[in-house]
Amino acid sequence: MTDKLVIVGGVAGGATAAARARRLNERAQIVLFERGRYISFANCGLPYYIGEIIKKRDDLLVTTAESFTRRYRIDVRETTEVLAIDRETKSVRVKNNETGEEYTESYDKLILSPGAEPIRPPLPGIDAPNVFCLRNIPDTDRIKAWVDDKKPQSAVVIGGGFIGLEMAENLVLRGVKTTIVEKLDQVMAPVDYEMAALIHAHLTEKGVDLIFGDAVKAFIPSGDRLTIRTENERNLECDLAIMSVGVRPETRLAREAGLDLGKTGGIAVDASMRTSDPDIYAVGDAVEVNEFVTGMKTLIPLAGPANKQGRIAADNVMGRSSVFRGTIGTSIVRVFDLAVATTGLSEKLMRKHDIPHVVSYTHSGSHAGYYPGSETLAIKLMFSPGTGKILGAQIVGKDGADKRIDVLATAIRGEMTVFDLEELELAYAPPYGSAKDPVNIAGFVGANLLKNDVENLNWDQLEARDPEREILLDLRTDIEFKTSGSIDGALHIPIDSLRDRLDELDRDKTYIAFCAVGLRGYLGYRILTQNGYKAKNLGGGFRTFLGATENLTL
C-alpha cells in the first residue's frame, strides 16, 4: 500500500482519486496540486451561470480546498503548478504561482489529472479582450462581467459542440443576438446529420443564425466591437466572440517525462489507468481509453468517465485491483427546449470503419398521449445485423430523452439486443411513460427489421431510387396530405383505403410506403407484400425526412 501519493490536477478525475485514496488508506500522505484556485467545480454548469439560470456563483463550487482538507485530511496546494516530473528520483518540480517559489516534492505513486485545454488557434486578433474561451471559473467570471457590464447586443460563437450550444442558448437568454459558425455541416459532431438537423431547425426557430462549412480567419477589434472575418470571406460584426472549437489533452508533463502517448495524442494507459511508468497513473480528459463496443482507442472529455477513472486509479494505487472497461460516450445537452442525447457508436463512425450495422428510426410520445404534455421523442437506434446487439443510440426531444438514453446506455454496457429491448419492463404511469415505452418500440422496430417483417429504405437513400420503378406511396390521411404537404411525386392513398385500392397499383413496380412516423408505413408494407406487391418502408416516415432536410418545425 502506498505511503505517499501525489496527484496533479483536481476537478472530476483528481479530486475523486484523492477522496477515494483517503477512504482506502487513512494513514497515507496525499498531496493534491491544483494550478488554479478551485480544486473541484461544476464545469458543466458554467454556461448556465453566465445565463443567470444558476444564480449563485458559489453553487458552481463542488468543494473548496478548506472543506476538502477538513474532511479528508489531504494536503491541497492551490495555485501551485507542477512543472516537471523526474521519474528517476520519483519527484515533481512545482511552482507556487502566487509567491513564485519553486521546490521539489517526492512521491511513491503519482496520478496525473491535467485535463484538456481549449483549442485556441493563433489567429490574428484572437487576444482581443472580447474574444473568450470557456473552460474554468476565471473564464466564466470574465465572460459574465463583460455581458453584465457591456450589455452586448450581438455575439458569435465559433463551434457548435456542447459548450458552443450551451453558450448560444445562454447568450440568447441574456438578450444577445447570437450566430454560430461551424466548420462542419452540422452542430453536435457526435450525432448523425439527420438528428443534428432537428437541432438546426430548433435553433433557427429560437433566432440563432447558423453558418456551416466556414471557419474564422481573423478577429478585427474596433473599440468594444469585433469584425470576424471567415475563410469564406464573410465579415460578421459583433460585440463578443466565444471560441468553442474543441479541446486537446494536456500532455506536456507526460510527454516531457517520456511517458508513452497513444495514437489519439492522449496519455497511453492500461485498464488499471497505469501509464508506461508503473508508478504513474493518469485519468480524465488527458488519457486515451478504449471505446467499449469496438475496443478502438478514443478521447472522451466527459466528467462521468473521469470520475470513474479517478476511483479506479486510486484503487490500484492503494493495493486493490480495479479496471476501466472502456467508455461509450454517453452524453446529453440541452438546446433551449430540446434535449439531445447520444450513447455508443454513431452511424458515421461505423461507416468510416466499415462496421456492419442496421439503423431504425422511431418517433414515440414521451408519455401516454391521452395525458397532457406528451412530446415526441425522435430515436435513432443502431444495432448489429446478425445478433441485433445494440451499438449506439441518439435521441432528440423535449421531454424524456434523458431517461431513455440512460436505459439504452445500460443496454449497450450489458451487451443487450433489440430483442431484449422488446422485453424490458419499464415503469409506466400516464404522466411518465406508456405501456409500450419508446425504448420498447425501438426494440419492436429493430426486431421487425431483423426478422424480415419489413424492409426499410432510409431518408438518405431516396435520392438514389429509380422514380420510374420505385414509387413513393403516402399513406397519411387526406387532411395530413393537404396541410403538411408530401414528398415530391408521391402517390397518395390513405392506409385505411389501401386494401380497397390495391388494383390501382402496378405489380411490376416497388412501392416505398410512408406515413408520418413509420407505423402506418409498416402496416402498408405488410398489406402490400402479403398481397403480392413489391414494397419497402421509409424508415422513420415523413417526420424523419422533414427533419433531415431541415423542413421540420418542432
The three state secondary structure string of 120-166 is: CCCCCCCCCCCEEECCCHHHHHHHHHHHHHHCCCEEEEECCCHHHHH
Of 44, 133, 238, 515, which residue is the catalytic one? 44
| pLDDT interval class at 392 (50, 70, 90) | very high
CB 77 within 8 A of CB 31: yes
- Taking only the tens place, the pLDDT of each residue in 369-391 is 999 999 999 999 999 998 999 99
Q: What are phi and psi of 170, to 5 degrees?
A: -75, -30
What DSSP assignment string belongs to 216-245?
A: EEEEEEETTEEEEEETT--EEEESEEEE-S
State yes or no: pLDDT of 229 exceeds 90. yes
State yes or no: pLDDT of 241 exceeds 70. yes
3-state secondary structure of 377: strand
CB 82 within 8 A of CB 40: no
pLDDT at 142: 95
- Residue 34 is given by DSSP the state E
pLDDT at 396: 97
Pairing of strands 75-78, 80-86: unpaired
Strand order in the sheet with 358-365: 331-335, 338-344, 390-397, 376-383, 358-365
- Taking only the tens place, the pLDDT of each residue in 269-299 is 999 999 999 999 999 999 999 999 999 999 9
pLDDT at 551: 61
Strand order in the sheet with 235-238: 216-222, 225-230, 235-238
Average pLDDT of the chain is: 94
Mean pLDDT over 56-61 rounds to: 87
pLDDT at 552: 52
pLDDT at 356: 97
Mean pLDDT over 314-337 rounds to: 96
State yes or no: pLDDT of 84 exceeds 90. yes
Mean pLDDT over 210-215 rounds to: 96
CA dihedral 183, 188, 193, 197 (to 10 degrees): -100
Mean pLDDT over 314-333 rounds to: 96
Strand locations in 291-416 (E): 297-298, 331-335, 338-344, 358-365, 376-383, 390-397
Lowest-confidence range among 159-163, 460-464, 501-505? 460-464
- Taking only the tens place, the pLDDT of each residue in 11-38 is 889 999 999 999 999 999 999 999 988 8
State yes or no: pLDDT of 554 exceeds 80. no
Helix (H), strand (E) counts: the chain = 15, 33
pLDDT at 36: 85
Give the residue among 167, 162, 182, 157 at the shortest CA–CA distance from 239. 157
CB 395 within 8 A of CB 382: no
| pLDDT interval class at 102 (50, 70, 90) | very high
pLDDT at 253: 96
| pLDDT interval class at 172 (50, 70, 90) | very high
User: What global pTM score does this model have?
Assistant: 0.93
Mean pLDDT over 150-169 rounds to: 96
- Taking only the tens place, the pLDDT of each residue in 103-148 is 999 999 999 999 998 899 999 999 999 999 998 889 999 999 999 9
52: number of Cβ within 10 Å:
13
Higher-pLDDT residue of 313, 554: 313
- Taking only the tens place, the pLDDT of each residue in 465-506 is 999 999 999 999 999 999 999 999 999 999 999 999 999 999
Catalytic annotation present for 44: yes
Distance CA 350, CA 255 (A): 31
358: number of Cβ within 10 Å:
18
pLDDT at 37: 85
